[in-house]
Amino acid sequence: MNRGRIIKNIFARFKKPSYTNRTQSYCRLSTYSINGTKSYLFMNKSPCHSVQYVKRNFHSSHVCCTVVPFKLSDIGEGIKEVEVLEWFVAVGDEVSQFDNICEVQSDKAAVTITSRYDGTVKKLHHEVGDVAQVGDTLVDIEVADDEATTEKVPETETVSETTVQDVQNVTEAPVQVVHDKALATPAVRRLAKEHNVSLSDIKATGKDGRVLKEDILLYIGQSGPSLTAPPTVPPPSTKVTPLAEDRIEPIKGIRKVMFTSMKESLSIPHFGYDDEFDLGQLVDLRYKLKKEVKHTTGLKLSYMPFIIKATSLALKEHPILNSQIDGDNLVFKADHNICIATDTPHGLLLPCIKQVQNLSILDITAELNRLHEAGLNNKISPADIAGGSFSLSNIGNIGGTYARPVIFPPQVAIGALGRIQVLPRFDYHGNVVKAHVMCISWSGDHRVIEGATMARFSNQLKDYLEEPAKMLMHLK
């Protein structure tokens, strides 16, 4: 409401007929040209922006292209956000006014968004599938020289509301003044002039009796646009600037999912149980197998597949840790679907490896690799995420020893693996030896899991990982 009022005020100011101040009247016209035929009420949050930019242009001694953000206008019907479904333009494309820019969808309505400018597409701000809010910039369009400076006003002339200065070629042509009663954007005026038609002869179909490009094309009996291409100018180099002020970003997408599930986890009374595992034998084993696996499958063998498999073997003996709370019931899950906390460029995801109890260490390696790739390419599917029954976080991959992992509801336990450190430890005979120590931190849901259960489970896993050969006995 407030914003509406402010804009209205600005609007009212523009409507005032007393334009004694030249700069002000100049601003009014520029608002027309920048926003095209559409009402500027929805275009820019504040029309002042556009005013400023033209002012800058006006004062500059040489002519250059200006990049205009093209924003998603209000579609009506209370639509606040839309999904971008198809781009009809790509970066570098030249667009004319009314050319299709993209197709968006909201509320089962497919909406074709058309350009309000003539120019070159500089940047697409959204990818197909992204959600854009009303007011968000959709594309940056570089407006060609003469369009941006069409409003250039000779120093001596006072501009009345219906007088427009149209400069055809700033660099060499003398200023041509077109006195015309009709309303139209500079682009349309240029088109009219190119075809030698007077705007007043044309039936205007635009808002408030404005002459549209289509009207001219219709008048001259031409179906397609035949505009001469605007001169191409090298794009201004993009500069990365540090964040100058606070930035507000809505919590959405993957972060939103994390937000919801982690809030839910607050209702779980967590208890922690930590231990350190000496992975010396596993380190040797992996070293021996690494080359073999690389050679036969092309896959990189990490410690994770061993840990995941061992976890599954330990879960078999402690099925309650692979259970889920469903109302008043505890559901003991048949499948060991082990979630792996994955740090993707888009946020934390917990894709799971399904039915680990049936998979070999090689299978797990392949699946981990697939999920890793998918994570990097934002291709993790909902099917990959659904159905997890137990979680592991390999935070040690980045660093750290002990952690305090948060349970991912409705699961009842999670483990965080620290990095493997080479540390001195005493062996059975009391000698100091070199040990490969990995710290492990468990969190359990104390409503259903006892500390003792967790300790036994952890010991079982420790047993398998410290002497991986023991796993052999249980492999089918």
- Catalytic annotation, residues: 446
d(CA 297, CA 286): 15
CB of 110 to another protein, least distance (A): 4
CB of 134 to another protein, least distance (A): 14
CA angle at 332 for the pair 330 and 336, rounded to the nearest 5°? 140
CB of 276 to another protein, least distance (A): 34
> Is the omega angle on the peptide bond into residue 410 within 30 degrees of 0, that is, cis?
yes
- Phi and psi based region of residue 100 (left: phi greater than 0; alpha: psi -120 to 50; beta: remaining): beta
Decide whether 218 or 283 has the Cβ nearer to another protein. 218
Tokens of 213: 């490009």
CB of 366 to another protein, least distance (A): 5
Decide whether 128 or 175 has the Cβ nearer to another protein. 128
d(CA 93, CA 85): 18
41 contacts 7 by C-beta, under 8 angstroms: yes
CB of 218 to another protein, least distance (A): 11
Give the three-class secondary structure for 380: coil
Nearest Cα to Cα of residue 439 among 191, 310, 273: 273
- Phi and psi based region of residue 253 (left: phi greater than 0; alpha: psi -120 to 50; beta: remaining): left
CB of 364 to another protein, least distance (A): 12
Give me the sign of the Cα torsion angle 39, 44, 49, 50.
Answer: negative
- Give DSSP secondary structure letters for 31-45: HHHHHTTS-TTTTSS
Decide whether 218 or 262 has the Cβ nearer to another protein. 218
Decide whether 78 or 234 has the Cβ nearer to another protein. 78
Decide whether 105 or 133 has the Cβ nearer to another protein. 105
The residues binding another protein (CB under 8 A) are: 75-78, 83, 85-86, 98, 103, 105-112, 114, 128-129, 205, 296-299, 362-363, 366, 370, 379, 381, 383
Q: What is the dihedral of CA 359, 364, 370, 376, to 10 degrees?
A: 140
Decide whether 293 or 320 has the Cβ nearer to another protein. 293
Decide whether 258 or 362 has the Cβ nearer to another protein. 362
125 contacts 140 by C-beta, under 8 angstroms: yes
Rounded to whole angstroms, what are the CA distances from 167 to 58, 118, 197, 357?
Answer: 13, 16, 17, 76
CB of 321 to another protein, least distance (A): 26
d(CA 443, CA 434): 29
Hey, what amino acid is at 240? V
Decide whether 179 or 203 has the Cβ nearer to another protein. 203
340 contacts 394 by C-beta, under 8 angstroms: yes
The H or E element containing residue 263 is helix 253-264
126 contacts 97 by C-beta, under 8 angstroms: no
CB of 388 to another protein, least distance (A): 18
CB of 188 to another protein, least distance (A): 14
Decide whether 167 or 350 has the Cβ nearer to another protein. 350
Residue 30: what are its φ and ψ, rounded to 5°? -65, -30
Hey, what amino acid is at 77? E
Q: Exposure string (b/e) for 132-159, b if CB count within 10 Å is 16 or more?
A: bebebbbbbbbbbbbbbbbbbbeeeeeb
Report the number of secondary-structure helices (H) and strands (E) in the chain: 13, 21
Span between the terminal Cα atoms of the chain, in Å? 68
